[in-house]
Structure 1
Amino acid sequence: MTVPVAIFVAVSRNSVIGRDGDMPWRLSTDLKRFKAMTLGKPVIVGRKTLDSFGGKPLPGRPHVVVTRNADLAIPDVSLASSLDDALGKAQRIAAETGASEIAILGGGQIYAQAITSADRLYITHVEADIADGDTFFPGIDPDVFEKQEELLVPAGEKDSYPTRFAVYSRRTATN
């Protein structure tokens, strides 16, 4: 049995997800939801995204890091040479741990590859246009993904912007 693959991302109205190796906003409310939704799930990240976490894995989530550097050694993570390799390793981890989902956490290149096969998208739509972003999320094709739910989230005390949290599911093929 294959465990579903989900993308988790915060994206601005103009598709920005990053700037200078970090997110161009502070969204404490969203980070709490993100942590609750990803704990215990195997996560796949690119090496630069891991660097944005301080170079070490997020607690409570087995990590698979996609890197071109075969000599890289990072404690407590599995390394993969491609997204397909990472998905295979994450599927094995999910089978061993009983995880219900694999979480793709970025960055831009990983998202661009993963969106073609992801089963679900958990998108925090940041209600802002970010002028100086340097990393972008690909468009969500409404013919491929159907919005299942949406929650409006006003900016909290520690949030830069209000958000809309939406869940999209891959449409099933019909003949």
Structure 2
Amino acid sequence: MITFVWAEDENGLIGEKGELPWHLPADMQFFKRVTLTGDVVMGRKTLESIPNPPLKKRDNFVLTSNENFSLKGVTVCHSKQEVLEKTKEAEKPLHVIGGVSLFELFKEDVDMLYRTVIHESFAGDTYMPPIDYTKFELIEEKKGHVDEKNKYPHTFQIFKRK
């Protein structure tokens, strides 16, 4: 099973100069809870945006064209096919966590979408590629709690491919 896990603002914004444009601990908890169920795959720039990579307690796969890239605790792949071959025997979800090029690459293969919508508009330079939601069914939706640590209204959504 292949999933996408991401957060976006009201306009589909997902990043600003390689970083998240917001601070929302509840989304980080949701991300962790989902991704701990399987392996994660990301691009090199997404990996480099993570404090103290790789992500703990998950097998981390990085898809990059950089033949010289390596990092302890990360399996480096150079094609979609290589990622699929190295993860197929794990029999657990493969969570695509970014960036845009990986979402584009896997959009025809994704089975589940785990999306956090932040009900604000932020400045940024990176947007989630369009997803044809007519091919998915919303199976769960939960409003996040706003408090002193989570200042923005947000909703967690889970979609399953029809």
TM-score, L = length of structure 1: 0.86
Structure 2, unmatched stretches of 5+, are none
Structure 1, unmatched stretches of 5+, are none
User: C-alpha offsets along residues 129-160 of structure 1, whole Å, 9 cap, x if unaligned?
Assistant: 22x21111122323211111110113232224
The runs of 4+ residues in structure 1 deviating greater than 6 Å are: none
Mapped partners of 1:114, 1:107: distance in 2 = 11
Q: Pairwise CA RMSD of aligned residues?
A: 1.5
Mapped partners of 1:155, 1:129: distance in 2 = 16
Q: Could you say which residue in structure 1 is the equivalent of 2:6?
A: 9
Q: 1:84 to 1:55 in 2, by over 3 A?
A: farther
Q: Could you say which residue in structure 1 is the equivalent of 2:144?
A: 153
Percent identity reads 33
The reply to whether residue 121 of structure 1 matches residue 118 of structure 2 is no
Mapped partners of 2:24, 2:147: distance in 1 = 8
Deviation, 1:55, is 6.0
Secondary structure in 2 matching 1:123 = strand
Mapped partners of 2:133, 2:68: distance in 1 = 41
Mapped partners of 1:37, 1:156: distance in 2 = 22
The reply to whether residue 38 of structure 1 matches residue 35 of structure 2 is yes
Mapped partners of 1:16, 1:162: distance in 2 = 15
Mapped partners of 1:119, 1:127: distance in 2 = 25
User: C-alpha offsets along residues 11-43 of structure 1, whole Å, 9 cap, x if unaligned?
Assistant: 111010000111000110111122122115111
Deviation, 1:102, is 1.2
List aligned pairs for 1:67-86, cutoff 5 A: 67-86=64-83
Mapped partners of 1:109, 1:35: distance in 2 = 22
User: C-alpha offsets along residues 43-93 of structure 1, whole Å, 9 cap, x if unaligned?
Assistant: 10100000001362110010110111111121111111123321222223x
